Structure 1
Amino acid sequence: MGEAYPDLVKQQDFVRTVVAREEERFRATLKSGTALLDTELDRLGPGATIGGSVAFLLHDTHGFPLELTREIALERGHDVDEDGFASEMAEQRRRAKDARKGGGGESVEVFAAVSAEHGPTHFLGDDSYAIDANVLAVTDDSIVLDHTPFYAESGGQVGDTGVITSPTGRARIVETVYGAPGVVRHRFEVLEGDIEVGQTVTAVIDGERRDAIKRNHTATHLLHWALRETLGDHVKQQGSLVGPDRLRFDFSHYEALSDDEIVAIEDLVAGDILANSPARHYETTKDKAEEIGAIAFFGDKYGDVVKVLEAGPHSTELCGGTHVKALGDIGPVKIISEASIGSNIRRIEAVSGMGPLERLREDERRIKAAADAMGVATDELVDAVERRVAEVKDLRTRIRDLERQAAAGRSGELAEQAVDGIVIARVDGLDRDGVRDLAVAVRDRAGIKAVVLGTAPEGGGVTIVAAVAADSGLNASELIADAAKKVKGGGGKSADLAVAGGKDPEALDEALDLVRAAVRS
């Protein structure tokens, strides 16, 4: 197989890593899906059918295959409503189809007619900010020109905004998209008057916004190169969004980036920007682009003639967006977030230009506010916080010691309430740890077989604790199983010391009564 696919041999360690992580993810999926299915099967009566909506939830949210749901259900004596599942799947496909449609029917016909008569709208390029153009069509919310300085949203880059002015009116362009293949649709809000078909208009884009987008878009290409340089050639673009305030880049990778990797990526990008190499943006044939090793971006479609961006000495990619002329125009680039968005797909967000400086100033304001709150200078803040954390930790230890002493004293009072060696009581005013310590203290007193304590802390929720003596013959988790369900909770699987949580404080007394009834029966 290595002879036919030599890349498999080169990348065998990477392939092993990805396969191993996929196995881990599937095991996690299996665990979460099985837990949900077990809960549903426990709720259903013998022989009942699992609803199609439940099977769909397992499939859609947890990635649980229908075949696996069916197999587990059959083992437990249940059927699955597969018709209901199919109906849910069909509804999901319908919603997705509706979401893709967009736009009104009449507008689509107008744009199609413009395309048939005039062909595609001519975009004048990166450096075109204001031009005169002729109006070819006007709908309720859109204008079509014969040529335009407005870049239409595509390739992950958002469209331009600006103003179009005619002899009889002005319109603010709030979005630029394609109304039909090649036909640029300028969506507008009326500022004054009307704009009519056949008029010559002045079209002016928001130049500051365009420049910010250009910086972020060229920075996206540099980040793509730096990611591949740092993480490996397996990194491929999986999507992007380039706006004026930030950029977003999705890429294939199997684990979270470390802090050191993020720093390395930022340093590579900064090095090219500081060198201020030119960014060349030009048209060539697709064959020539492939010959020079230009990388295609995810989701873009290319004809025989393509646009290539050479962003400095390292990044060469196909791209029809707008870009800076020199890398120094980008300014600093800072990665502000990194996260998983799917199996083996990561997402970074970054800012460029004034963005990093604005974030630095905001961080400085927050640090100054924190230092003021601590009563120290900013350069003393870390030491002050470490001292305060140590103080709080020490105080918590002292409080826990006092609570244990109090529990030991209170345990005698509760032990006196024992009936046949079993104590069941409500003890408000304690947190989860406090009620657990008290239960253990009561259990450890002479003559006590078991103790069940419940509390409803001021912060909300319910805690029920069961502690049983080793020679009691009782099971702590079984003692509070029904009580936990009563307070809309669960947990507590240990046989000698079980702690369960719940959501319904109002039901705590009834839950404890269930325990009393159970031990008497």
Structure 2
Amino acid sequence: MEWTGLNELREKFLSFFESKGHLRLPSFSLVPKDDNSLLLINSGMAPMKKYFTGEVTPPRKRVTTCQKCIRTPDIERVGITARHGTYFEMLGNFSFGDYFKHEATAWAWEFFTKVLEMPVDKLYVSIYENDDEAYKIWTEEIGVEPSHMVRLGKEDNFWEHGSGPCGPCSEIYFDRGDEKGCGKPDCHVGCECDRFVEVWNIVFSQFENDGNGNYTPLAHPNIDTGMGLERLACVMQGVDNLFLVDTVQNIMKKISEITGVNYGEDDKKDISLRVITDHIRSTTFMIGDGVLPSNEGKGYVLRRLLRRAARHGRLLGYKDAFLYKVCETVIKENESAYPELREKQDFITKIIRVEEESFQKTIDQGFKLLQGIVDDQDIKVLSGEDAFKLNDTYGFPIDLTREILSEQGIDVDVDRFHELLKEQKQRSRDARKKEDTDAWISDSTDLSDIAKTEFCGYTDLNTGSKVLAIIKDGIRVDSVGENETALVVLDKTPFYAESGGQVGDTGVMEAGTLEVDVDDTTKDASGVYLHSCTIKSGTLEVGTELRAIVDFDRRANIMRNHTAAHLLQAALREVLGNHVHQAGQLVTDHSVRFDFTHFEALTDEELKKVEDLVNKKILASIPVVTKEMPIEEAKKLGAMALFGEKYGDVVRVVSIGKFSVEFCGGTHATNTSSLGLFRIRQEGSVASGVRRIEAITGIGVLKYMNDVRETVLNVCETLKISNTKALTEGAQKIATLLHDQQKEIAELNTKLAAMQVDNLFINSEIENGVRIIAKKIDNANADALRAMCERTKDVAPLSVVVLACENDGKVTFAASCGKDAKALGVNAGKLVKAVAQAAGGNGGGKPDMAMAGAKNPEKIDEALAIVKETVYGMIKA
């Protein structure tokens, strides 16, 4: 067999199965669509599970794909071994009730032995131990030598996940030779060594498992085939691991070029090179599919991968941002199969660079925090809790913590750190178990016998329809009566179903005395519309013919706000730059909430420019034109697509002159003038690199203006200002007066508190070499306590003072330690921390002066009572 590049292998596989009547589909997005059971796509079949279950009709009964996948359960192992990776591609050929074992096995063997010309004597086949049918096909039809056949048990060769389609599987192994084996006489297929590599897995989905171990033969069995592209490339290129495959190796070489570290020269540095190589592949593809860094869900996975890669860059001695520079190589190595990466290169690069630079600040903050802990606590051993917090919260690696502290003669409680890390991993595992991670899980009622709903609501808001199905409490029923609620399926509907960020329509259904309120509209993955209904009068039955009528006023407001979202995105791109992309939206009848990619808060000037530009387009009375057209034609028009979204051959394009041209399936105004006015209510951050604008149009703007006017009049009345034009001047005078009075009150309180310093020493005596004062001060604040402690520290070297005050239910503690008391071992930072913890708080500071806060005022006396004991403990130590 000849050495074959990864990109060539992918194309050979897909072309081969196209020649066998398969429809080649592009890789689905890494972000699951209409599927809450997975965080990210993790297998070739995952995005097509509803084809297998029958919930959605596949575009053809034979399909072949190369699917992008992300798996992160073993993220800690990535880099440590050369086998583990978070990003990989799965080659697959699938039969949805079409061909079965005979064809699937024959084509797999043909591809390996004829197309790739793998030596037959190097190939071994495993089957489920009871699958005699497969054994007979492999040996008698395909011609595999019985000595190259292996029967394995259910754990290895029977594919099932709880209930649903399942069946035996058959795997093809490649023998890499004795030199890769373990040397044991019984080394064979299934051995843990590196000799026999499982390359191809054919799942014969021929049973339905009811979840209780009962298997019913499927009327139309399926084929689900999976083969890791990188693993196949390892075999064809004669290399030991995925990091030596041509495209992956080229990415690593770029990293080596930047960092000056070569692979194979140092084991520890090799780990870092592998981590960076894997993670930059994953993150480039994730961002390309619309995932953005955040602190939860998919965004957290992305952030964790980026920060782990950046951290390993530092371990290689490279402290500057560099991952964004590697993107070009990742894209170059993959653009033949994924051209969208090149289209989004600027955006991907910018996201990675911003996240890298943010992490640099975070890790620098970690340095300061670490040194702060050392200075405040005067420690000889850093606690496992502090080390874990630095690692978990600030991404500060334990190895770096140990290295820095070792230079100062300080140890780290590594055992406790690893205990906490283990507990965190267990929590993560438990959380993953709670999440639905089985790609076969289905959360919808079976509507496979119902055809896709005909939607006529772009042009018709009142239409005759027929009830095809009624769902009550998740079960299909024949009828529902007065005051009952149910999901109703019609043959055709004018109600827009929630999608693309636009809420579903509401309205009514009528037929004679039957009156039904439609409270919401959604749709399932197969395009069946589900109307959430309440029966107001009469009985609704399957087969009922009725009028379906959309709430026109509400729909009109929704259309105004959705059209405004298009104008807003175009205006943002013009004012801020072309890096702006939609990152999410919510369009309702009240407002539009638009999330977009940008890396800093908008200035007042920028917001005004955006708002003015949108209003300018509204006043220009521009027609809003909607057309369906081939996707290639739409791209030539420069139509913007939703990030990470996959579109069919024909798309719906909404054009507002040349100002805005977007792919969109939502409903829109016919002319910008009908929006009336556009007003931005607020702008803020929702995640790193993602901003949010909330805006209103039409009636919403009028309501907003009336509310503002009413508020102004109420303020004028309260402030006894008769003329609204004088409101600003009057408010400024009152604000100045209040500020001056508050300042005067604060100064008086500070003076009053300071006058109490002398009283502090009354009834205090020097015991065990120090004078201890612990007291609550009335009518004081944090500034007053600090001033009193500073004064006593300076005038009484043997004094140890802890003062407390309460303001609005919050407790403040201040502690000071005179220089002579400090010499005896007393530490104000540790003292105030212990006192505050006794009152439900925390804090700390320097050995001579420290502050803390607490939540429980009722425990102030109890907290002050431990001062003496704590101080004496320090002196003895």
TM-score of the superposition, structure 2-length normalised? 0.52
Gaps of 5+ in 2: 1-324, 333-340, 403-410, 473-485
**Residue among 436, 459, 467 paired with 1:97:** 436
1:425 deviates by 2.5
Change beyond 3 A, Cα 1:85–1:405 = closer
| 1:386 paired residue number | 732
User: Any conservation in 2 of the 1:215–1:329 contact (CA below 8 Å)?
Assistant: yes
| 2:861 paired residue number | 509
| 1:417 paired residue number | 763
| 1:367 paired residue number | 712
Change beyond 3 A, Cα 1:89–1:299 = same
CA distance in 1 between partners of 2:624 and 2:563 (Å): 8
User: Any conservation in 2 of the 1:219–1:333 contact (CA below 8 Å)?
Assistant: yes
CA distance in 1 between partners of 2:458 and 2:515 (Å): 24
**Residue among 797, 804, 811 paired with 1:462:** 811
| 1:312 paired residue number | 657
CA distance in 1 between partners of 2:555 and 2:441 (Å): 26
**Residue among 342, 353, 361 paired with 1:19:** 353
- Whether 1:139 and 2:471 are equivalent positions in the alignment is yes
| 1:236 paired residue number | 581
Change beyond 3 A, Cα 1:121–1:56 = farther
Render the CA deviation track for 1:138-166: whole Å, top value 9, x for unaligned: 22212222211111111111111111112
CA distance in 2 between partners of 1:234 and 1:442 (Å): 58
Change beyond 3 A, Cα 1:380–1:485 = same
Render the CA deviation track for 1:184-215: whole Å, top value 9, x for unaligned: 11121111112222232100010001000100
Instruction: Say which is worse superposed, 350-359 or 459-468, in terms of deviation.
Output: 459-468
Change beyond 3 A, Cα 1:63–1:94 = farther
What is the number of equivalent residue pairs in this alignment? Answer: 499
- Whether 1:196 and 2:541 are equivalent positions in the alignment is yes
CA distance in 1 between partners of 2:812 and 2:709 (Å): 42
Tell me the percent identity: 32
| 1:208 paired residue number | 553
Amino acid at match of 1:513: A
**Residue among 396, 401, 422 paired with 2:747:** 401
User: Any conservation in 2 of the 1:238–1:251 contact (CA below 8 Å)?
Assistant: yes
1:378 deviates by 2.1
User: Any conservation in 1 of the 2:516–2:534 contact (CA below 8 Å)?
Assistant: yes
Amino acid at match of 1:439: C
- Secondary structure class of the residue paired with 2:449: helix
Structure 2 counterparts to residues 165-184 of structure 1, below 5 A: 165-167=510-512, 169-184=514-529
- Whether 1:428 and 2:778 are equivalent positions in the alignment is yes
1:502 deviates by 1.5
1:287 deviates by 1.2
- Whether 1:349 and 2:349 are equivalent positions in the alignment is no
**Residue among 482, 488, 496 paired with 2:848:** 496
Kindly report the root-mean-square deviation, in angstroms, between the aligned alpha carbons of the 2 structures: 3.8
User: Any conservation in 2 of the 1:454–1:462 contact (CA below 8 Å)?
Assistant: no
- Secondary structure class of the residue paired with 1:113: coil
**Residue among 778, 787, 793 paired with 1:437:** 787
Amino acid at match of 1:28: T
Gaps of 5+ in 1: none
- Secondary structure class of the residue paired with 1:181: coil
Render the CA deviation track for 1:9-42: whole Å, top value 9, x for unaligned: x999996797256423564378589979x99xx9
User: Any conservation in 1 of the 2:816–2:848 contact (CA below 8 Å)?
Assistant: yes
**Residue among 90, 109, 114 paired with 2:450:** 114
- Secondary structure class of the residue paired with 1:254: coil
Change beyond 3 A, Cα 1:429–1:90 = same
CA distance in 2 between partners of 1:384 and 1:11 (Å): 54
1:321 deviates by 0.8
User: Any conservation in 2 of the 1:331–1:352 contact (CA below 8 Å)?
Assistant: yes
1:169 deviates by 2.1
User: Any conservation in 1 of the 2:749–2:780 contact (CA below 8 Å)?
Assistant: no
1:69 deviates by 6.4
- Secondary structure class of the residue paired with 1:457: strand
Structure 2 counterparts to residues 147-296 of structure 1, below 5 A: 147-167=492-512, 169-296=514-641
Instruction: Say which is worse superposed, 319-328 or 293-302, in terms of deviation.
Output: 293-302
Instruction: Say which is worse superposed, 351-360 or 432-441, in terms of deviation.
Output: 432-441
Change beyond 3 A, Cα 1:388–1:444 = farther
Change beyond 3 A, Cα 1:359–1:465 = same
Amino acid at match of 1:23: E
| 2:40 paired residue number | none
CA distance in 2 between partners of 1:399 and 1:240 (Å): 48
Render the CA deviation track for 1:453-512: whole Å, top value 9, x for unaligned: 433425213222123445654543244332122222222313433222112233322332
- Secondary structure class of the residue paired with 2:580: coil
CA distance in 1 between partners of 2:422 and 2:794 (Å): 57
User: Any conservation in 2 of the 1:487–1:502 contact (CA below 8 Å)?
Assistant: yes
- Secondary structure class of the residue paired with 2:572: helix
CA distance in 1 between partners of 2:862 and 2:544 (Å): 78
- Secondary structure class of the residue paired with 2:436: helix
CA distance in 1 between partners of 2:710 and 2:395 (Å): 47
User: Any conservation in 2 of the 1:481–1:490 contact (CA below 8 Å)?
Assistant: yes
| 2:362 paired residue number | 28
**Residue among 405, 414, 425 paired with 1:77:** 414
* Greater gyration radius: 2
CA distance in 1 between partners of 2:419 and 2:345 (Å): 42
Change beyond 3 A, Cα 1:217–1:390 = same
- Secondary structure class of the residue paired with 2:540: coil
CA distance in 2 between partners of 1:239 and 1:163 (Å): 29
Change beyond 3 A, Cα 1:282–1:403 = same
Amino acid at match of 1:334: R
- Secondary structure class of the residue paired with 1:139: strand
1:358 deviates by 1.1
Amino acid at match of 1:24: S
CA distance in 2 between partners of 1:478 and 1:84 (Å): 28
Change beyond 3 A, Cα 1:13–1:149 = closer
- Secondary structure class of the residue paired with 1:156: coil
